[in-house]
Structure 1
Amino acid sequence: MATMKAVVVEETGGVDKLLYKDLPFPEAHEGTVVIKNHFIGINYIDTYHRTGLYPLPLPFVLGRESAGEVSAVGPDVKDFKVGDRVVYIGGSTYSEYTEAKVGAVEKITNDVSYETAAAIGIQALTAWTLVRESYPVKKGDHILIHAAAGGVGLLLCQMCRYLGATVIGTVSTAEKAALARENGADYVINYTTEDVVAKVNEITGGLGCQGVLDGVGKSTWDISLQCARRLGSVISFGNASGVVPPISIATLAQKNLKIMRPTLFNYMTSREESQKWWGEVFELLAKGVIKTHIYKIYDLADAKQSHIDIESRKTTGKLLLKP
């Protein structure tokens, strides 16, 4: 039986639970294609799956996105052929080959590299749905972006600048502050040395921000609520520091705040929705509105190190795996 290399989780836990091993070579079935992965995107959600914070049935191949070429198509598949260049968002991507449902696969044009496609996938789609749907950013808004030098954070800075907002980013180092500024942050607050709430009040004349985009979670949640202005929106989309603790809904009455906890996949439940959002992201890329920042490309065999690095908060931009 033909085999391939993959990163498998047989029990949840630390990085030692990432097993680099041989698995049977996947086959295409009805409604699926097999993709030869050229680059694989690493996302913070991968660490949640590994630890069991977001449980998946065990055992599983880790990963949610990849870019590569179609190597086999199912008997009923008409939209794709062997050799098509594609990007995929779904599951089981930390592997040399992935069987993918056709509804989760998009073709990429020849001017978009596999590397770029894998780097913009989940993070750019997440960022764009956040600023168009979760909180539709408007010209003149003040927007607070936590972890502004991270993969999603940098894209949010670029997008909010494009939409005409005043962008306030939080970071932990001077290097990250410089990167956030390069990508559209008008103001950058180093939360290790500055009081975020005080600085936001100073910048906004005491009013606060119309939108707060928080992918950090537990450690920033109270700050996010304090930094939102009356009638503002707090969008919580990640748990990098831990899960947001339970809140009393009456807390929101102090400023008539709205809160939301979106997830990308609920914005892309149909082929039509998927094509809409992918189309808009590819357009932003073509117009130069967004650009990728690839921090490092790891060999698939070094997936453990990639998780150590992304959880250390020392990385910026996007991390990729190469089979």
Structure 2
Amino acid sequence: MKAVRIYSAGGPEVLKIENLELPDPAAGEVRIRHTAIGLNFQDIYARSGQYPAPMPTGLGTEAVGVVEGVGPGVTDFKVGDRVCYASGPVLAACATHRNYPAARLLHSPAHMQDEQIAAALLKGMTVEYLMQRCYPVQKGQFVLMHAAAGGVGLMAGQWGQHLGAHMIGVAAGPEKVKLALANGYEYCLDRLTDDIPARVKEITGGVGVPVVYDSVGKNSFEQSLNSLAPRGYFVSFGTTTGAPPPVAASSLQKMGSLYFTRPTLVTYTASTEDLRNSAAAVFDMFAKGVLKININQRYALDDVAKAHADLESGRTSGSSVLIP
């Protein structure tokens, strides 16, 4: 097998491609030959050391492939099955093959191609838990989503439109604003030129939004706080520009009895039941035509360093996949 390995945290230059021997699958595991690998900002966090991992380590949490072997005790999967996953327990998706626990594995839906699943599953489950369970979005509500032209952002726009929400996106530059507006957003603000809180208040008649979904972190923190209506929810689910500052309880009080939460997909899919229900909701949205995936970048596995550099610098839009 060929796999991405890192021996110390750092920039894209620490990514190495190595040839390794893959043992037979252990009890409860299956061996998968990958056909498409998802690229997510989680991979940047792990590579840079923001999410500490024991070194050396592999990389990647999301992939699609075909079962090539099953270990003792596996009954839900057989050789030849199309399968997918978007969670741990170890970072190893950036590889041509891997062994993976059957309890966390999913059958790939027949109505989706492998690249679509690799580009959509983790991001789609992120949107599902954010908008359905963390803060359940209701019809007619205004919703503010940062990074609206990214992989999660584009699916959030589509999902929110389906729910009947008034989606307000924030993106960088006219091209990304245009992309967001074509994917469910009723409004999209340009973070390079717009005063975000002022525009949000203008759109909402001076009230603000009941919920902000913020994956940007440090650079958008004040904008998010100042865009909320009283008793609004600040949902911080990423830190692409660095961690936001600590939130003082008194500031939440003074700004309108606000709520602040820092959820993760890991928590919301910790049980096998939650994992499968979340994935099923995403697959169902694709089956209904509610969700469409924008795969705007494809990279060979050997070009993983370029893929990381592009994603980290904001040169990508929509979703990216690695092809083994």
State the TM-score, normalizing by the size of structure 2: 0.97
* Equivalent position SS for 1:220: helix
Residue 273 of structure 2 is matched in structure 1 by: 272
Residue 79 of structure 1 is matched in structure 2 by: 76
Letter in 2 for 1:187: Y
Structure 1 runs of 4+ off > 2 angstroms?
A: none
Distance 1:34 1:84 in 2: 11
Distance 1:262 1:244 in 2: 14
Q: Deviations over 1:233-269 (max 9, x none)?
A: 1100000110111121111112111111110011111
Distance 1:247 1:275 in 2: 34
Structure 1 unmatched runs, 5+: none
Letter in 2 for 1:298: Y
Residue 260 of structure 1 is matched in structure 2 by: 261
Letter in 2 for 1:49: A
Residue 135 of structure 1 is matched in structure 2 by: 135
Residue 308 of structure 2 is matched in structure 1 by: 307
Letter in 2 for 1:240: T
* Equivalent position SS for 2:219: coil
1:22 equivalent to 2:19? Answer: yes
Q: Deviations over 1:45-86 (max 9, x none)?
A: 101100111001111110010001011111110000011001
Distance 1:14 1:109 in 2: 35
Structure 2 unmatched runs, 5+: none
* Equivalent position SS for 1:79: coil
Residue 37 of structure 1 is matched in structure 2 by: 34
Distance 1:236 1:298 in 2: 29
Q: Deviations over 1:191-216 (max 9, x none)?
A: 11111111001101110001100010
* Equivalent position SS for 2:149: coil
CA RMSD of the aligned region, Å? 0.9
Letter in 2 for 1:14: G
Give the paired residue count.
Answer: 320
Q: Deviations over 1:87-117 (max 9, x none)?
A: 1122300000011111221001322211111
Residue 61 of structure 1 is matched in structure 2 by: 58
* Equivalent position SS for 1:269: coil
Residue 293 of structure 1 is matched in structure 2 by: 294
What is the correspondence of 1:102-141 to structure 2 with a 5 Å cutoff? 102-141=102-141
Q: Would you say the 8 A contact 1:26–1:34 is kept in 2?
A: no
Q: Deviations over 1:157-210 (max 9, x none)?
A: 111111111111111111101110010111111111111111001101110001
Q: Would you say the 8 A contact 2:2–2:18 is kept in 1?
A: yes
Distance 1:200 1:221 in 2: 15
The Cα shift of 1:222 comes to 1.0
Q: Which moved more, 1:269-278 or 1:51-60?
A: 269-278
Distance 1:143 1:237 in 2: 15
Aligned-residue identity in percent: 40
Distance 2:270 2:295 in 1: 28
1:160 equivalent to 2:152? Answer: no
1:46 equivalent to 2:47? Answer: no
State the TM-score, normalizing by the size of structure 1: 0.98
Letter in 1 for 2:49: G
Residue 284 of structure 2 is matched in structure 1 by: 283
The Cα shift of 1:30 comes to 0.7
The Cα shift of 1:29 comes to 0.6
